[in-house]
Amino acid sequence: MASGLTSTKTNRARSVERVLWIVLALNLVVAAAKFAYGLVSQSASMQADGIHSLFDSVGNVVGLVGIALAARPADEGHPYGHSKFETYGSMLIGVLLLLAAFEVGTGAVDRLATGVYTAQVTVASFVVMVGTLAINLGVTVYERRCGQRLHSDILRADAAHTLSDALVSVGVIIGLAFVAAGFPMADPIMALVVTAFILLSAVSVFRRAFSTLADHSRIPAGAIQAIACKLPGIEEVHCIRTRGTESEVYCDLHLLVCPDMTVRAAHALGDELELQVKEAFPNVNEVLVHIEPYGVEQAAEQQAGFSVRLPEGAPVADLASCRALGSEQKGPTR
């Protein structure tokens, strides 16, 4: 089973790497076209958009390194594996986005302060921007679908980044139209709009990364309860917790069975529940089942002042929540 898991991880890592290499090549083409023509036409917004696209390429390289580290198998020092390195990589992309926003924003402010507007707009300007916009939209759709299929933090973050690049390109095209109409100040103003989109993209990347690092719940407790209710022999399941990356989720729960059930039977029931959960959620890597005798512990806990019996559909996520819920059910002591 371990070798099969390692093989699955390797196959996923290779798939993610393949997508990143393809996107890297396309981003380099887009960045070179935008920035080169921005220099020729002296358009601040086109140069800014080119820098943004270049940072897309740097982010792809960071993603490749992160995936290579995340694909390493578990070892003695990292018994849960290295999957969070992919999340660390996405955070580094966020840092690169902040640096790009600073570079683009300061350049635009400088042009507005000096009042020097040198942008030259031609038909070729619009051809370059519309062509690169089409590539960006295609990359966004492709990378987002791959990210959803592979449950990859890196690909989803990078897809959002590329989409922001496409929206920025739309803004640049609008700015070039205003310049052609006799409003040269529109060029640095649209560069500031570019800065705002880059910052929004960075916020999105950091939010997703912090969700993983803070062990945000990955699967609703009610969904796992519904699976457990279908298995005969399970009296109750509660204290359900899930965490991890989107591609590698760890789950633990308390499974209550008849006190007269043998250890062998209870263990088999726990194994069956683990199998059912993994079939329903393929991104679940491990399910830790804690077996408890039904009825015995509940009586002791009621005497201690709380009950942990879980009403159907209640999304209890941890032991503290179980106890709080039990206190509400029991009501004030008379």
Question: What are the pLDDT digits (tens) for 256-305?
Answer: 999 989 999 999 999 999 999 999 998 898 999 999 998 765 555 555 55
Structure tokens at 170: 């739309």
What is the pLDDT, as a whole number, of residue 250? 92
Q: Report how far residue 63's alpha carbon sits from residue 58's, in angstroms, rounded to the nearest whole number.
A: 9
pLDDT score of 331: 42
CA atoms of 176 and 191, how far apart (whole Å)? 11
Coil, strand or helix at 250: strand
Q: What is the spatial distance between Cα 102 and Cα 263, in angstroms, rounded to a whole number?
A: 62
What does the alpha-carbon distance between residue 190 and residue 111 come to, in Å, rounded to a whole number?
A: 12
> Rounded to the nearest 10 degrees, how much is the dihedral formed by the CA atoms of 37, 43, 45, 49?
20
pLDDT value for 326: 37
Mean pLDDT along residues 71-84: 82
> What pLDDT is stored for residue 308 in this prediction?
42
- 2-213 against 221-330: fold identical: no
Burial class (CB in 10 A: 0-12, 13-18, 19+), 48: buried
| Cβ atoms of 195 and 112 closer than 8 Å | no
pLDDT in the model for residue 296: 64
pLDDT the model gives residue 275: 93
User: What is the C-alpha separation between 281 and 223, in angstroms, rounded?
Assistant: 10
Q: For domain 2-213, which CATH number applies: 1.20.1510.10, 1.10.1130.10, 1.10.3720.10, 3.40.630.30?
A: 1.20.1510.10
Tell me the per-residue pLDDT of 159-179, one tens digit each, with 9 for 90 and over: 877 777 777 777 778 777 887
Instruction: Quickly tell me which residue has 């005969």 as its tokens.
Output: 232
Q: What span, in angstroms and rounded, lies between the C-alpha atoms of 34 and 128?
A: 7
Number of Cβ within a 10 Å radius of residue 229? 11
Both tokens of residue 133? Answer: 């916009």
The 3-state DSSP class for residue 257 equals strand
Does the domain at 221-330 match CATH 3.40.50.720? Answer given as no
Amino acid at 96: L
The reported pLDDT for the residue numbered 101 is: 81
Determine which helix (DSSP H) or strand (DSSP E) holds 32, and give its type and residue range: helix 2-41
For residue 30, pLDDT over 80 is answered with yes
Q: What pLDDT sits at residue 321?
A: 39
197-224 mean pLDDT: 87
**Facing residues of 241 across strands?**
252
Percent of the chain with pLDDT over 90: 16
Cβ(9)–Cβ(73) under 8 Å?
A: yes
- What gap in Å lies between CA 181 and CA 242, rounded to an integer? 56
Residue 42, pLDDT score: 73
DSSP β-ladder status, 234-244 and 249-257: antiparallel
Q: Which two tokens stand for residue 308?
A: 């942990």
d(CA 15, CA 17): 5
The tokens 């031609």 sit on which residue? 122
Domain ranges (residues) in the chain: 2-213, 221-330
What tens digit of pLDDT does each residue of 100-156 get? 788 778 877 887 888 766 556 677 778 877 888 888 899 889 988 998 888 787 888
Q: Which two tokens stand for residue 246?
A: 């989107």
Q: Nearest CA to 48 among 60, 59, 62, 37?
A: 37
Q: How far apart are CA 251 and CA 246, in angstroms?
A: 13
Local structure of 193: helix, strand or coil: helix
> pTM to 2 decimals?
0.67
Q: By the 8 A CB rule, do 150 and 16 touch?
A: yes
Distance CA 122, CA 183 (A): 15
